[in-house]
């Protein structure tokens, strides 16, 4: 059973997140947060909003609001960017969130301690504290030669609805149709 917590929906607020052991910080439009996770609309550059990110709070070293975040916030307010969580979203533990993303989108995306690697996949099974996934490659094919195993406690970010996530999803669905 997955533990769920209630979310607090907030007003328009852009924050900068410094993730433990990551070189670059992240910008996000705060949508909601629980005791364990923060849900944001991801801002990869300037005033561009691209999907959602969930940041695990235990890996956030610092949350900042400088003049830069206030300027981004102003532009997003002028653009009337929606700050609602996605339909059907509820906070849960790490596996519960990955399950929700996989259920809603067919595949999930996450990052662990290495900020340069993104992992796409479907849950295969869980053993003790590890998540074993069927890895989905950038061409949409499923890696069949070996299982990819991850320490659940090291997952820092879960991403969905980004342009890239949706593109990998389309490629994966296309490969499924051709089977």
Over residues 138-155, the mean pLDDT reads 90
User: How is residue 57 written in tokens?
Assistant: 């709070």
**Among candidates 120, 117, 132, which has minimal Cα distance to 172?**
120
Residue 28 main-chain phi, psi, to 5 deg: -155, 150
pLDDT of residue 133 exceeding 50: yes
Q: Is the pTM for the entire model greater than 0.85?
A: yes
% of the chain residues with pLDDT over 90: 84
Question: Of 56-70, 92-106, 140-154, 156-170, which gets the smallest average pLDDT?
Answer: 140-154
Q: Is the dihedral of CA 132, 134, 137, 143 positive or negative?
A: positive
pLDDT of 35 reads: 96
pLDDT of 147 reads: 80
pLDDT of 99 reads: 97
pLDDT of 1 reads: 45
Kindly indicate the confidence band of residue 170, based on its pLDDT and cuts at 50, 70 and 90: very high
pLDDT of residue 17 exceeding 50: yes
**Among candidates 32, 33, 34, 53, which has minimal Cα distance to 44?**
53
Cα distance between residue 113 and residue 174, in whole Å: 31
pLDDT of 172 reads: 94
Cα distance between residue 57 and residue 157, in whole Å: 10
Cα distance between residue 55 and residue 19, in whole Å: 9
């Amino acid at each position: 059973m997955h533990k769920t917590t209630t979310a607090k929906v907030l007003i328009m607020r852009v924050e900068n997140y410094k993730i433990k052991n990551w070189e670059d910080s992240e910008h996000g439009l705060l949508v909601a947060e629980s005791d364990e996770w923060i849900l944001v609309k991801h801002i990869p550059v300037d005033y561009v909003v691209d999907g959602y990110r969930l940041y695990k709070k235990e890996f956030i070293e610092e949350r900042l609001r400088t003049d830069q975040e206030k300027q981004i916030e102003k532009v997003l307010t002028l653009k009337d960017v929606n700050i609602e969580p996605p339909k059907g979203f509820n906070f849960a533990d790490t596996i519960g969130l990955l399950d929700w993303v996989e259920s809603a989108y067919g595949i999930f995306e996450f990052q662990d301690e290495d900020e340069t690697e993104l992992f796409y996949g479907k849950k295969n099974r869980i053993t003790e504290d590890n998540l074993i996934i069927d890895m989905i490659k950038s061409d949409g094919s499923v890696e069949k030669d070996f299982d990819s195993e991850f320490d659940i406690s090291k997952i820092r970010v879960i991403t969905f609805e980004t342009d890239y996530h949706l593109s990998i999803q389309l490629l994966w669905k296309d490969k499924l149709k051709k089977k």
